[in-house]
Structure formats: C-alpha cells, structure tokens
Amino acid sequence: MTEFVAPTVEYGTILPLLVVLGAAVLGVLAEAFAPRRWRYPVQVGISITGLAVALTTTVLVGLGLEEVGGGLLARGSLVVEGAVAVDGPTVFLWGILLVLSLISVLLFAERRLEGGLTGFAGQAAALPGTSAEREASTHGVEHTEVFPLMMFAVSGMMLFPAAGDLVTMFVALEVLSLPLYLLCGLARRRRLLSQEAAMKYFLLGAFSSAFFLYGIALVYGFAGSFALGEIDRAVSASTGANAYLLGGIGLISVGLLFKVGAAPFHAWTPDVYQGAPTAVTGFMAACTKIAAFGALLRVYYVAFGGASWDWRPLMWVVAVLTMVVGSLVAITQTDIKRMLAYSSIAHAGFVLVGFVGVYDGGEGGTGLTSLSSVLFYLTAYGFSTIGAFAVVTLVRDAGGETTDLSRWAGLGREAPLLGGVFAFFLLTFAGIPLTSGFIGKWAVFAAAWAGGAWPLVVVAVLVSLVAAFFYVRVIVAMFFSDPVGQAPAVAVPSMLTTAVIATTAIATVALGVVPGPVLELAEQAGAFVR
Amino acid sequence: MNTDHYLTLSALLFTIGAVGVLVRRNAIVVFMCVELMLNASNLALVSFSRAHGQLDGQVAAFFVMVVAAAEVVVGLAIIVAIFRSRRSASVDDASLLKY
C-alpha cells in the first residue's frame, strides 16, 4: 500500500480561473436564495465584479511570470501537477477573454430594448405562443440564470487554451460548450428558431467532442500519457508513421476545427449564429473562437510540433477551404446574422493561415511569430465582432430584431451614427487600412510568409478581395438605396449597449491606428511552456 | 494480456455510433449514438491503460463518465423543450434555419 500524496495546487497562479468559477457558483446560489426582484441586479453585480477581479488577478499573474530560460523565449510554468499551463499566451488569452466577457455581460444585461426585460426567454419551459408565455412576460419573469451560465462558459474558455494535458482540455471543452448550448435556446423572440439552433448546436457539438475524445484515446495509446509535453517527447522519439498517432491527430483536429468553425466542419455556424439570441451570438462568436484557437495552437505547437510535416498539408487544405467557403457563401446571404456567421468562418480561415505558417520568429525567437500574430488577430476580431452584433440588436421592428438584409436598406440615412459605426466594423472585417482588421491580416500573412506558406498568403489576399465585396455591398445598401416599405426603426438602448458599441468601436480604431502596444504585448507573450 | 480485441471492439462501437448519428432521424436516438461513441472511447482508454500498465487511462474514463452525465442533462433538456413546442423529436422537422 503506497502512501497517498496530496497533489500540489498553486492557487495563486490559477486564481483568475477560480474567481470566475467562484462567481458562477455564487450566481447559482443567488438564483436559489435571492428574492425575484433582486436577482437581476445581484446577478449582474456578481458577474461584473467576478470578471473585473479575475482581470486584475490575471494582470498580477502575468507580471509575476518567470522566464523559462534555456534559449526559449517563454515564461510561465506548468501548475496543478501539469494540468494547467500558465504561460505568456495563456495570460494574454485570459486577459482578452475577460475583457470581451465583461463587454458581453453588458450586452446580456440590456433591458430597455424589450420593454424592461432582458432579451432572454421569460420562462424557457413555457411553450412558445401560449398564454403561459404571455403571462410570464406580463409578470416580468426573466431567466437570470443566463449570467451564471455565461460565467461557467467563461471559466471553460479560460481553461481550454491553458490545459496542460488532454483530459483537462476535454473537460474544459465541455464546460465551455454545455452552458452555450443552453444559452442558444433562450431567445425571447423567435423561440422556435432559437430552440432549433440549440438542438443543432448540441447534437453536432456532442458529435464532434466524441471525435475529439476518441482522438485523445488514440494519442494516449501512442504516447502512454495525456500530458502535452510527454506526447511531444514520444512524437519526437518515434520514427516512421504510427497509425495511432496519425489517427489521433486527425480525430483531435475534427473536434478543434469544429469549435473554431473551420470548413468542412462549419455547417453549424450560420444556423446557430442566426437562431441564438444576438447577445449570445456576439459572445460566442468572439470568445469561443479565441479559446478554441488558443487550444488548437497549444495542441499542435506543443504536443504535435514534431509531427508538423504530417499535419501541415491537412491544415493547408482546411485553411484554403475555410477562407473560400466562408467568403463565397457569404455573398449570397440575405440575413445579416448569417452573413456575419459566414464572415466569421472566413476569419477562421485567415487565422488558420497564420497558424500553418509555424514561424517561430527566426533567430532567438524574437519579433512577430505565428503565435503572436494569431493572438493579435483574435484580439482585433473579438472587439469588432461583439460590436457588430451589438449594432444588430438595435435595428428592430414590431417583431423584434430585423435581421433581413433587404430591411437594412436606407438605414445609414435613417440613423447616420449607427450606420456609420456598423460600416466601420464591416470595413474592419474587410481589412481596410487604418482599421484593426488590416493590422491583424497583415500580421498573420507576414508570419505565414516568413514560415514559407506563401501560396496560402496569395490565396488569402485574393479571398480578402472577394470578401470585401459583400461587406461593401451591405454598406452600399445602408447608405445608397431607398428603404423598402416601412423603414426599420433604430431602437434607443440604455447606457449598457451604448457603452458596448462605444468601447468596441474605440478599441477597433485604437488597434488600427496605434497597434504597437498590443502587438508588442502579443510578442512579449512568447512561446508555450512545455 | 493482448488488448487488440478490445480496441477492435471499441473501434467497431465508435463506428456504429458515428453511422447512427448520421442516419437516424430521432434526436433521442442520435443522442444515444453519441453516448455510444463516448463509451467506445472509454473502452479504448481503459484498454490502452491496461496495455501501458498504468492507471491514467482509467482515471480519464471516470472524467468522461461525469462529463457524459452532464451532457445528458443539457441534451435532454433541449430535446424535451423542442419536443414540447413541436410535438416531434425528429431532426428533419426542425428545419426553419437554412441557407
């Protein structure tokens, strides 16, 4: 009988994660014990406080990271017995996830647009179109559970790119996905669409995570360990092709590429983005993508770095397919949320271009690496995405949000400021100079070019031109065509949504005009620890 | 001990589950097929654990069981909600979102 050895847990280092999880649990308790009319302010307070405290501790953790040394520009360490890797990229991703989540909470908490209630179903159990549903909304019943659910999702997103072994990564994947499945089904308006989106997201998400898990099992069979560092050693030591390893890489790729929404695993994206409540769509489009790309980079660069000749051809194909499908299909879309969904697919393709470059910054590993360029791209993309979806929540008619593109005609003349801001976000997505999208695209293309993936860069630039077409088409419709029938009204939001749109627009301008500080921060993040 | 037979069985179960997800129409059955895939993965994890002579894989199988249980809760909630509003759990009937 061997003696039980208690594991060491570095509570100080993983504090941001614990704070967010703690806030989520506190939110569940508040839901159970707080009187109904107090729940909304209490939940919003807990969420905002939790995220702000977590952000502060993230900065402190980031300042305290120690350099690894040994010729590798990396700082940080593996904590909690190797289950969590707190290093430069992790802290950068935590920071950006927390900032974007903080912005999303404000969007979740918006109440003025629906006459004093949040944009979530009053009572999810009440059937759509029945008296029970009307009763719930006249009595002002609302689901404040959305805030704890969101906090659980955020904690999963934080753990996902920080996972030091594959089991932790799988658990984090589910912790981030399960609350999102529920949030997708909770829209106040168009509930059948919302429920359908939730079911599609759930079934396909569960399907893909089963592939992910079988991939983990195969890689475990090959390496005899779940730890990414151990897998790396086994990959480097092996000679020739191993069926378990190749099968494992393939299946794990399916799971991760599904989450980032890359073709050919993108089919869920437009349906879910359209059906989900718009606040959730914005949150999910920005934060899930960031977390999933963080995990993708960590798995491929740390665990499968030695086998990059095996997976790079695969990723080349996926990157080209994703860019082309996202940009071409977006042209034919008639719904603004669907169009933004396809645009996010195209953006996933651009990020993948930076990812397959596998450029470590040359001698000494300084300067712009694949990793830092992707981190910057995700930051730029996250802000403008949440901003764009926040604008979508404001264009309304009697039936709720008006997402049909034909109804957006003439909107720019109706509301010049809002139309201008939305046009600016679209130009950012298109990558026009002086916007953050341009700097992001330039960074990932430069890294991919330096890494020898120049054919991909050429394709990416051509696709960007095609993509610019459908963004500009929306702008032209908004400013230069006459409204069809009655023009949609632009609702006046409370301070919350105004703050979201203002913050994201300012961040997008700032990242485009003075990208230096954030770019430098991304470079400072350095490499992953092993 | 030779674990190859167990791995073959797990690959077989996984394939049956994956094909089931693709061909079945009832959301509950689709979901059961996903569970079959997760359990096939568990079998593979435990077999590899035995082959390597360590416990890591078996511990992982426990984690997977807990996650699968949580997934059932969320999944059934969504499927029941959609069944109540449509009187049907067929994945073909839910087709408002397209193109």
pLDDT tens per residue across span A274-293: 999 999 999 999 999 999 99
- CA-nearest of A156, A162, A245 to A209 is A156
The beta-carbon neighbor of B74 closest among A202, A217, A221 is A202
Q: Can you give the pLDDT at residue A60?
A: 95
Residues of A in contact with B38 (CB under 8 A): 210, 213
What are the tens digits of pLDDT across the range A333-362?
999 999 999 999 999 999 999 998 877 765
Chain A, residues 250-289, CB within 8 A of chain B, namely 270-271, 274-275
Report how far residue A386's alpha carbon sits from residue A287's, in angstroms, rounded to the nearest whole number: 9
Q: Answer whether A170 sits within 8 Å of B48, measured CB to CB.
A: no
* pLDDT of the residue at A170: 97
* Tokens coding A473: 């088409």
Q: Are A401 and A504 in contact (CB under 8 A)?
A: no
Query: How far apart (Å, rounded) are the C-alpha atoms in residues A327 and A324?
Result: 5
Of A191, A195, A206, the CB nearest to B71: A206
A331 CB near a chain B CB, below 8 Å?
no
Could you tell me the pLDDT band of residue A363, with boundaries at 50, 70 and 90? low
Q: Give which of A160, A194, A207, A403 to mutate to test B binding, by max B Cβ within 10 Å.
A: A207
As a whole number, the mean pLDDT across chain A is: 91
The 10s digit of each residue's pLDDT in A376-411 is 999 999 999 999 999 999 998 888 888 888 888 888
Among A127, A191, A202, most B C-beta atoms within 10 A, so best to mutate, is: A202
For residue A493, give the DSSP letter: -
Q: What pLDDT is attached to residue A411? A: 87
Q: Is A243 touching B (CB cutoff 8 A)?
A: no
Handedness of CA A351, A352, A357, A363 (dihedral sign): positive
Q: What CA–CA distance (Å, rounded) separates A260 from A348?
A: 7
Q: Choose among A128, A275, A332: nearest Cβ to B97.
A: A275
Q: Which amino acid is at A337?
A: K
Nearest CA in chain B to A167: B60
Encoded tokens for A451: 């890494």
Over the stretch A120-132, which tens digit does the pLDDT of each residue have?
Answer: 888 888 888 888 8
Write out chain B residues lying below 8 Å of A216, CB-based: 41, 45, 60
Whether residues A196 and B41 touch (CB distance < 8 A) is answered with no
pLDDT digit string (tens) for A66-115? Answer: 887 666 677 888 999 999 999 999 999 999 999 999 999 999 999 988 88
End-to-end distance of chain A based on CA atoms, in angstroms?
32
Burial A436-448 (b: 16+ CB within 10 A, else e): bbbbbbbbbbbbb
C-alpha span between A122 and A223 (Å, rounded) = 50
> Would you call B17 and A171 a contact, using CB atoms and an 8 Å cutoff?
no
Rounded CA gap, A212 and A252, in Å?
4
pLDDT at A451: 87
Q: A231-240, A321-330, A456-465, B74-83: which range is least confident on average?
A: A231-240
Joined together, the tokens standing for residue A32 give: 């159970």
pLDDT value at residue A364: 52
A2 CB burial (10 A radius; 0-12, 13-18, 19+): exposed
- Identify which has the larger pLDDT, A526 or A62: A62
Instruction: Classify A452 as helix, strand or coil.
Output: coil
Interface of B with A in 73-92 (CB under 8 A): 74-75, 77-79, 81-82, 84-86, 91
Instruction: Annotate B6-62 with DSSP letters as a single string.
Output: HHHHHHHHHHHHHHHHHH--BHHHHHHHHHHHHHHHHHHHHHHHHHHTSSHHHHHHH
Considering only the beta carbons, identify the residue of A202, A225, A226 that sits closest to B75.
A202
Residue type, B26: N
Q: Which residues contact A347 (CB under 8 A, 6 or more apart)?
A: A289, A326, A381, A429
Asked if B29 is an interface residue toward chain A (Cβ–Cβ < 8 A), one would say no
C-alpha to C-alpha distances, A156 to A94, A169, A185, A291, nearest whole angstrom: 11, 9, 19, 9
CA-CA-CA-CA torsion sign (A366, A370, A373, A379): negative
Chain B: residue whose CA lies nearest to A274: B97
The H-or-E segment that residue B72 falls in is helix B56-86
Q: A220, B57: Cβ pair inside 8 Å?
A: yes
Tell me whether A216 touches chain B (CB under 8 Å).
yes
Question: Is-cis flag, bond preceding A264, omega within 30?
Answer: yes
A317 band by pLDDT with thresholds 50, 70 and 90 = very high
Query: A190: alpha, beta or left, given left = phi > 0 and alpha = psi -120 to 50?
Result: left
Q: Does A72 touch chain B (CB under 8 A)?
A: no
Of B48, B97, B99, the CB nearest to A221: B48
Contacts with B18 from chain A: Cβ below 8 Å: 207, 210-211
| Nearest C-alpha neighbor of A487 from the set A403, A410, A420, A391 | A410
A195: chain B residues, CB-CB within 8 Å: 78, 81-82, 85, 94
pLDDT tens for each residue of chain B, 99 residues long: 688 999 999 999 999 999 999 999 999 999 999 999 999 999 999 999 999 999 999 999 999 999 999 999 999 999 999 999 988 888 888 788 776
Q: Give the H or E element holding residue B75.
A: helix B56-86
Residue A143 and residue A331: Cα distance in Å, rounded? 36
Residue B1 pLDDT: 67
Backbone angles phi, psi at B81, to 5 degrees: -60, -45
Q: Which of A191, A195, A226 sits opposite B56 (nearest CB)?
A: A226
Question: Quick one: average pLDDT of A428-452?
Answer: 92
Preferred mutation among A159, A174, A222, A244 to probe B, highest tally of B CBs within 10 A: A174
* Average confidence (pLDDT) over A513-527: 88
Condensed to tens digits (0 to 9), the pLDDT of residues A20-34 reads 999 999 999 999 999
For residue A176, list chain B residues with Cβ-Cβ distance below 8 A: none
Question: pLDDT tens-digit profile of A194-240?
Answer: 999 999 999 999 999 999 999 999 999 999 999 999 999 999 998 77
- The residue type of A507 is A
Sign of CA dihedral B14, B15, B19, B22: positive
Query: In this predicted complex, what is the ipTM?
Result: 0.97
Q: Which residues of B touch A124 (CB under 8 A)?
A: 81
Given the DSSP bridges, would you call strands A395-397 and A400-401 parallel, antiparallel or unpaired?
Answer: antiparallel
Please tell me which residue of chain A has the smallest CA distance to B4: A221
Q: How far apart are CA A440 and CA A435, in angstroms?
A: 9
Percent of chain A with pLDDT over 70: 98
Chain A residues with beta carbon closer than 8 angstroms to that of B81:
124-125, 185, 195, 198
